[in-house]
Each structure stands twice: as structure tokens, then as C-alpha cells.
Amino acid sequence: MKSHRKELWFEVPQRRAYLNITPQVEAALRESGIKEGLCLVNAMHISASVFINDDERGLHGDFEKWLERLAPEKPHSQYRHNETGEDNADAHLKRSIMGRETVVAVTAGRLDFGPWEQIFYAEFDGLRKKRVLVKIIGD
Amino acid sequence: MKSHRKELWFEVPQRRAYLNITPQVEAALRESGIKEGLCLVNAMHISASVFINDDERGLHGDFEKWLERLAPEKPHSQYRHNETGEDNADAHLKRSIMGRETVVAVTAGRLDFGPWEQIFYAEFDGLRKKRVLVKIIGD
Amino acid sequence: MKSHRKELWFEVPQRRAYLNITPQVEAALRESGIKEGLCLVNAMHISASVFINDDERGLHGDFEKWLERLAPEKPHSQYRHNETGEDNADAHLKRSIMGRETVVAVTAGRLDFGPWEQIFYAEFDGLRKKRVLVKIIGD
């Protein structure tokens, strides 16, 4: 069994954003030389997500509005977590909906995707350097 | 390390439905001959989910009502994604709550389940052919 | 390829709670002797979750309040699932938001975590014995 590990670094210049990281994950897979296996992609920070959905800007706008409705950022004082001096409790909740990680099948050396699947890094508390972990195992 | 790949195809005759696909996943596992490993089951489409929960019709009715409250289908015009000509933005949101995939342990050649765990395909934008991917790795 | 399986048992003395189970998962990893691979941690019951987030008590209070807003326990009669004699439909919904499982990379014999990642068992229908499964595969 082979394994390969790669960190992807991001510094998003605003609080929230959706980045298509599929090309970076594909590059990590090529480096690994793995043909059959599983590829884990996870946010290493607890106020960010990795998920698979459509690369369509309108949909990302819908995500932004919807997540603000389900887990509003403000007022910051509505969350006990923010009493610790943080202001990012909403980011922990938004990330809980969108998920920490995805696991993708690797088949014949490729990410084994349906027609529109793309991997996104969702930043909910940006303006600083944060990481995504890619771990691939297989043969 | 062995690996096995299988696609499951569905054409749900209405917009939304919950299908218990545990028997098909178990069949794929038997075909694989894998005794110890991990089994990934994921929707290959971004308006559908794979998740594990109870096979109880009342609960599925509760999911339907609850997801419509959190991410209502109508009016279609409330979503920017639908300006592209689609009407399925709500399906992308519902799928985000219920999840794209599950990973199940394989032990002694069986899906290593608790007492009530069953795997479901949740269709949120049906009336056409769509796929689930099963990928099993192990020995 | 090696694999290791371990069940963790819990009996939470109230309906809902968040338990940091990272030490128990790390112990299972040490027992496995696996240095490179993937570690699956999943609730074996469908009214509980395993997820990764911050070990901060205020945040757990925010989760409790937020999940009660999105999927309120009472009145029990609002859910069809409860017509079966259960009163835990809300627990199935809360678990759907927080997730059944997490997959963690194993690197150099350690859980490959970012700075604040910790693994939690979330109980949404306690007062009885329930289980978490840890399954680790790799070399």
C-alpha cells in the first residue's frame, strides 16, 4: 500500500469565500502515483469546510445567503463561544453544515467523479493562513 | 490491497425520494471478495445524497418536511442558481445538509453496522437517471 | 495492509452531551501499530454523531441552542417518527446536521490534525449504552 500526504495553504482576503481546489487535489494525486484507492481531503481548521458541489457562482451566492440565515454571523454576542474573545462562532456552525472533509474514490489514477463534481474549500473565517490536508492511500 | 468499483443507477419517478440501497452495497461487497477495509458510497450527482439512518417511513416524512423548512424548493426565484435556467437550487442545499457520501467499515466480509444502520440514496432532483458510486478497498 | 477495529462504549446520563473521544481514538491507533493510513470513526447508532470541532464549552452550548432551533425536540407530536412510540425524531435530524462519521489521516503513527481539531461523540438520545466504531486501515 502506498500513501501520499500534501498540505494546501490558503489566505483568503475576506471573511468568507468558496475556492475550487480540484486542480490542486488532482496534482497531489498525480504526484502520489496511486492508481486505485481513496483520497481524503479535509480542512485542518475548525472554521472552514471541504465539500463537493457545483462550480456555479450563483449557487455559491445562494450558499452564502442560506448559511447566514441558518447560522448568522451577527450579533456576535448571541454566541457563548464569542465570550472567549473570538467572533467566529458562526463559522463553526456553518462548517458543521457544509462538512469538514470529503473522501473521493481513485480509479485508474483519476478522481472518480460524476459529471459536475468539484471540490471546494469553504472559508468562513478568513484573513489568515489556513490549511487543507490531502491524504491518498492505495496502490 | 484489493479494490472494487461499482456504479448503482437510479431513475426516481418523482422529484424527491429516499431509497434503501443497503442490499446493493452488500452485493458489491460480496463481489469484491474484500474482508477487511473501507467502503465508500457516494452520490455522483450534486443534487442527491448518500447517508445512513433508520429505515422508517415516518422518519423519511419528517426529513422531507424538515428539509423543505430549512431549504424550501419554492419560490424558485429566491435562488440565484435558478437564474441559470435550473430549478434545483434547493436540491443542492438539501444535499449539503444530508451529505454526499458515507464511509463504512468492512469487517469479516460484512458492512460493520450498528443495530439500525441502513444506507440511503436521497434524491432531491429526480425524474432522470443518476448514479451512486461504491468503491471498496482492503484485503 | 493492516486493519484494526475497536468499539468505544458510552452511557451518557442525560439526553444530550458532547464528549471529547480523541484520547480513546489515539489509544486505538497506538494499539493498531499502523503508521500510514486512514482512521474511520463513526457512531453505530442513528441518533448520535461523530464530528471534529473545537473543545470549547461555550461552543458546545452554542451547538445545543442552535440544533434545538433547527430541529427542536418538542413538541414530540410534530414528528411522524414519534408516532411509532419513539420520542427521538429530533435526534435523527440533529445527527443529520452534525454527521455520522469522520475520516482522519494517519501519518507517522499519529492522527494528522490541524491545531485545534478534536473528535467528539455527540449524544442526542442518551440514557442508554451506545457505541462508536473505530476502524483503521494502512501499513
Q: Considering only CB atoms, which chain B residues are within 8 Å of C79?
A: 58-59, 62
Asked if the Cβ–Cβ distance from B97 to A97 is below 8 Å, we say yes
User: Chains near A, with 3+ CB pairs < 8 A?
Assistant: B, C
Q: What is the pLDDT of residues C6-44, one digit of tens each?
A: 999 999 999 999 999 999 999 999 999 999 999 999 999
Average pLDDT over chain B reads 98
Q: Considering only CB atoms, which chain C residues are within 8 Å of A89?
A: 58-59, 62
Q: Given C38, C46, C81, which is nearest B38 (Cβ)? A: C38
The band of C106, judged by pLDDT with boundaries at 50, 70 and 90, is very high
Q: What are phi and psi of A130, to 5 degrees?
A: -140, 165
Residue A8 in grid coordinates: 494546501
Residue with cell 483520497: A39
pLDDT in tens, chain A (139 residues): 999 999 999 999 999 999 999 999 999 999 999 999 999 999 999 999 999 999 999 999 999 999 999 999 999 999 999 999 999 999 999 999 999 999 999 999 999 999 999 999 999 999 999 999 999 999 9
Size of interface A-B (CB pairs under 8 A): 90
The pTM (predicted TM-score) of the whole model is 0.99
Q: What is the pLDDT of residues C40-81, one digit of tens each?
A: 999 999 999 999 999 999 999 999 999 999 999 999 999 999
β-pairing verdict for B110-111 and B101-107: antiparallel
Above pLDDT 90, what percent of chain B? 100
Show the domains of chain A with their CATH numbers. Answer: 2-138 (2.60.120.460)
Q: With H, G, I as helix, E, B as strand and everything else as coil, classify residue B15.
A: coil
Q: Considering only CB atoms, which chain A residues are within 8 Å of C114?
A: 43-46, 131, 133
SS (H, E, C) A21-59: CHHHHHHHHHHHCCCCEEEEEEECCCCEEEEEECCCHHH
Q: Considering only CB atoms, which chain B residues are within 8 Å of A102?
A: 100-101
Mean pLDDT calculated for residue range C93-107: 98
What is the per-residue pLDDT for C90? 98
Residue C138 CA to residue B37 CA, distance in Å, equals 9
Q: Considering only CB atoms, which chain C residues are within 8 Å of B97?
A: 96-97
Residue A120 CA to residue A20 CA, distance in Å, equals 5
What is the per-residue pLDDT for B137? 98
Q: What is the pLDDT of residues B35-87, one digit of tens each?
A: 999 999 999 999 999 999 999 999 999 999 999 999 999 999 999 999 999 99
Q: Which residues of A touch C (CB under 8 A)?
A: 1, 3, 5, 38, 40, 42-46, 70-71, 79-84, 89, 92-93, 95-97, 99-101, 103, 131, 133, 135, 137
The band of B94, judged by pLDDT with boundaries at 50, 70 and 90, is very high
